[in-house]
Structure 1
């Protein structure tokens, strides 16, 4: 009964309550908001990757047999980029290792690098001259 009363007490945030990301007030709020930003960026990345892959497959469809490989090259590049992103962001966290900011710094890095890659994939999907 006491736990239930605490959940209903004024000023006690419920676990599924989201912070105001336009004006986060605590480190926890900032971390939650940074993770939300990363989720959105990752979703945009996945959409851009699908478009870029479709473009590479189309390119492969009209290339002579010995010159195909655009889709395979993109897949290899994306896998290498994921490894790069993860290690680059891990290295940034060493600036605040063990501190309450560490997860936020990681998420912010992941968002920044993911958005850069998304822009590159969108350019790739557009093709040459666009």
Structure 2
């Protein structure tokens, strides 16, 4: 009987099928307002970062559209004035490198510990929220 179960397991693994116990991998139900366990706090910090990243991406798309419009308007005045789109791309790439490095560094406070993911995710969320506000400011333009 034991050999039969092992054989079935090998066949399932070989075919790339999931074992029955792995089929229902649902997101855990965590009350992030009252998270107590470190795994819950890690989960909630990551969810906060995911939400911040989603908002950042929306703001980036809108800011990019605004920069395209800026380039169009400035290009009508003088072709040498165009470059807002490329400047935004350059700034965003540099910001992503900065954010990732800074947040990796923030994790060293608890390097290898169960709290490290929370520190990294918290840093990612904080810096992402700040960048989103910067992008919104660019989109609105000076004086708005």
Query: The TM-score by the shorter chain falls in which range?
Result: 0.7 to 0.9
The answer to whether 1:96 aligns with 2:110 is yes
- Structure 1 stretches of at least 4 aligned residues deviating more than 3 Å after TM superposition: none
Query: What TM-score do you get using the length of structure 1 for normalisation?
Result: 0.87
1:37 maps to 48
CA shift at 1:25, angstroms? 2.0
Give the total of aligned pairs: 118
| Greater relative CO (CA pairs within 8 A, separation 6+) | 1
Q: 1:61 aligns with which of 52, 65, 72?
A: 72
SS at match of 1:21: coil
**Superposed CA RMSD:** 1.3
CA shift at 1:36, angstroms? 0.4
CA shift at 1:37, angstroms? 0.3
Which whole-Å CA distance do the structure 1 matches of 2:27 and 2:84 have between them? 44
Unaligned runs of 5+ in 2: 1-20
1:26 maps to 37
Greater Cα radius of gyration, structure 1 or 2: 2
Query: What TM-score do you get using the length of structure 2 for normalisation?
Result: 0.79
Which whole-Å CA distance do the structure 2 matches of 1:95 and 1:25 have between them? 20
